[in-house]
Amino acid sequence: MNGTTSTETTSTTIVERLPARDIDLSCRPPLMLFFGSGLIWLFVGTLFALIAAIKLHGPGFLANIPWLTFGRIEPAAANCVVYGFGVQVSLGVLLWMMCRLGGMRLLFQPALCVAGFLWNVALTAGIVAILAGWSTGCEWLEMPHFSAVLMLVAYALIGVCAITNFHLRRDRALYPSQWYILGALFWFAWIFSAAYLMLILAPVRGAFQAVVNAWYISNLTDLWFASVGIAIIYYFVPKLLNRPLYSRPLAAFGFWTLAFFAQWLGMTRLISGPVPAWMPSVSIAAAALMLVPLISVAMNWYLTAEGRTNVLRQIDTGRFIWFAAISYVVATFALILMGHRSTAAVTQFTYAEVGRTALVLHGFLGMALLGALYYIVPRITEFQWPALKHVRLHFTLYAVGVALLVFGLFAGGILQGLRMNQSTADFVALIKSTVPFIGISTLGLLLLLAGQALALKNFFTLSHRSNAHVRAYAIDFITGRETIRRGA
C-alpha cells in the first residue's frame, strides 16, 4: 500500500471499486444539504463574532438589546461556527472521503438528509435559545437540552449510516485518513453525549462541572477537529500532487500517539484552578507529549510534498490545504507552549486562549474544510464554480483575515496577561490597552465575513443551476422523453 496514493488504488480490492463519478453523484443530496447549511452558519457565526468584537471597542454598541448583549452573542457565534459549520461540514467531507476511499456509493442518502435537516433545526432552536437567554452556561454546550438531544439523535443517525457505509466498503485496505475518520465518528458521539449528560441532563456538582467541560472542549478542538483536519490533509496532499504518502508506519505512529495523548489535554485549562493539583499536572505532561504526534504528522506531510509545495499552492484546493497544515503546526506548538505552567500564568484567562481556538477553528479546520468543499462540490454536482476567481479571492480574504484575527488576539492577549500580572496595572487601563489589538482582529473578522459572503454566493448560484438541471432531468425522465446529457 505504500507505493500508491491508495486513494484511487484497486490493488487489494476484493470487489471492484466503482468509478469515481458514480461515487460522487451518489453523495450529492446529503452533502449539498450539509455544505449549504454549513456555509450559512459560517456566515452567521462570523457576523455574530463581528458584532461581539465591535462591542469590545465601544460597550455602547447595541447595548440595549438583551438578545444581542455580549454574553449572549459571543456564545451564539461560537456555537454557529463549531456545530453549524465545523461539525456539519466535517461530517459531509468525512462521508465523501469514506466513499471515495472505500470505492463505494454513499448509501442511505434519505436517512442522511433527514438527519442533516434535524441537525439544522435543532441548532437553529439552540442558537435562538442562547440569544433569548436560555443558555446552559457551560462553554460550547450552551444550547439547552431540547436542542442537544435532537442534535445527538441526528448525529447518531449520521454515525450509524457512516459506520454501515464504512463496513460495506468495497476496497478493504485502509488508508490513514480512514483511521482518523473512524476515530472522529466515534469520538464525537462519546464526548458530546458524555458531556451533555454530566453537565445538563444529570449535572454533576460544583467544580467537577468545570472538569467535564474542560475535558469536552479540549477533546473537541484538539482531538476531534484535529482528526478531521488531519484526515483531509492526508487525503488531499498525495492526491493533488499525485504522489504516494511518504510513510504509512509514520502515519500510524502519529495516529496512535494523537489518540492516546490528545485526550488528556483538557485540564491545562484548569492550571491553578479549583481542582486537585494532579489533574492539571497530568494534562501539562500530555501537552508536552503532543510534540510527538505533531512531528510525525508534520514530517509525513512535508516529506510527501517535498519540493512540490509550490505546485500545491497553485491549485485552488491545495492552497487551502497547505494553509491548514501550517495552521495545525502553529496551533499545536501554541498548545504545547501554553500548556506549560509558567506560560499559562500569562496566557490564562486572556485573549491568547481565544486566539488559539480561532486558529484551530478557522486557520486549520475551516481552511481544510473549505478546501475540500471547493474540490468536492463541482464533482458531486458536475457543475463548475460559477466564479472561479471568487474561490481564489475567498482564499486570500480568509487567509489574511485569519492571520489578522489570530495575530490581534495573541498580541492583545499576551499584553493583557503580562499587565495583569503586574499587580500595579489598573484593570480598566489594561483592558483599554488591548483595544487596538482587538481592532486588528475585528478587521480580520470583517475580511472573513466578506470571504464567507463570496463563498455563499458562489455556492448558491451553483446549487441553483444544478437543481434546475436535476429538475429538468427528472421531468424528462418521468415524462419518458429522451434523457438529456448532463452539462460539464
Partner 1 sequence: MNAGPLVFLGILLSTALSFWGLVIAPAFQLGRQDLVETGAGPYPTGRTGAAQRGAEVYRSLGCVECHTQQVRPRGYGTDIARGWGVRRTVAQDYLRDQPALLGALRIGPDLSNIGARSPDIRWHYEHLYNPRKLVPGSMMPAYRFLFDKRKLAGTPPQNAIVDDGYEIVPTEDADALVAYLLSLQSQVSLLEAPLPAPATNAVPGDAGTNAPAGDTNTAAKTNVAAPTP
List 307, 427, 478, 485, residue binding partner 1 (CB under 8 A):
427
Task: Give the range of 82-90, 152-160, 326-334, 429-437 binding partner 1 by CB under 8 A.
Answer: 429-437
Task: Give the range of 18-26, 151-159, 323-331, 343-351 binding partner 1 by CB under 8 A.
Answer: 343-351
Query: Shortest gap between Cβ of 180 and partner 1 (angstroms)?
Result: 10
Near partner 1 in 292-311, by CB under 8 A: none
Residue among 75 and 86 whose Cβ is closer to partner 1:
75
In the chain, what are the helix, strand and coil shares in percent, each to the nearest 5? Answer: 80, 0, 20
The H or E element spanning position 162 is helix 145-167
Q: Does 275 bind partner 1 (CB under 8 A)?
A: yes
List 209, 309, 343, 463, residue binding partner 1 (CB under 8 A):
209
Cell of 154: 441526528
Helix (H, G, I), strand (E, B) or coil at 300: helix
Q: How far is Cα 161 from Cα 100, in angstroms, rounded to an integer?
A: 15
Near partner 1 in 39-98, by CB under 8 A: 55-56, 59-60, 63-66, 69-72, 74-75
List 263, 309, 343, 463, residue binding partner 1 (CB under 8 A):
263
**Residue 121-160 contact track with partner 1, rule CB under 8 A, x = bound:** ------------xxxxxxx---------------------
Q: Residue by residue, what is the 3-state secondary structure of 398-446?
A: HHHHHHHHHHHHHHHHHHHHHHHCCCCCCHHHHHHHHHHHHHHHHHHHH
| Positive or negative: CA dihedral 420, 424, 427, 432 | negative
Task: Give the range of 118-126, 177-185, 308-316, 382-390 binding partner 1 by CB under 8 A.
Answer: 177-185
Query: Shortest gap between Cβ of 14 and partner 1 (angstroms)?
Result: 12
Q: Residue by residue, what is the 3-state secondary structure of 178-212?
A: HHHHHHHHHHHHHHHHHHHHHHHHCCCCCHHHHHH
Task: Give the range of 16-24, 265-273, 318-326, 461-469 binding partner 1 by CB under 8 A.
Answer: 265-273
Q: Does 219 bind partner 1 (CB under 8 A)?
A: yes
Task: Find the angle CA(371)-CA(449)-CA(368) to the nearest 5 degrees.
Answer: 15
Contacts of 111 (CB under 8 A, 6+ apart): 157, 161
List 3, 167, 307, 488, residue binding partner 1 (CB under 8 A):
167
Exposed / middle / buried, residue 255 (Cβ in 10 Å: 0-12, 13-18, 19+)? buried
Q: How far is Cα 429 from Cα 423, in angstroms, rounded to an integer?
A: 13
Q: Grid coordinates 481556538 are at which residue?
A: 357
Residue among 56 and 454 whose Cβ is closer to partner 1:
56
List 38, 106, 300, 353, residue binding partner 1 (CB under 8 A):
353
- What is the total count of residues that contact partner 1 (CB under 8 A)? 87
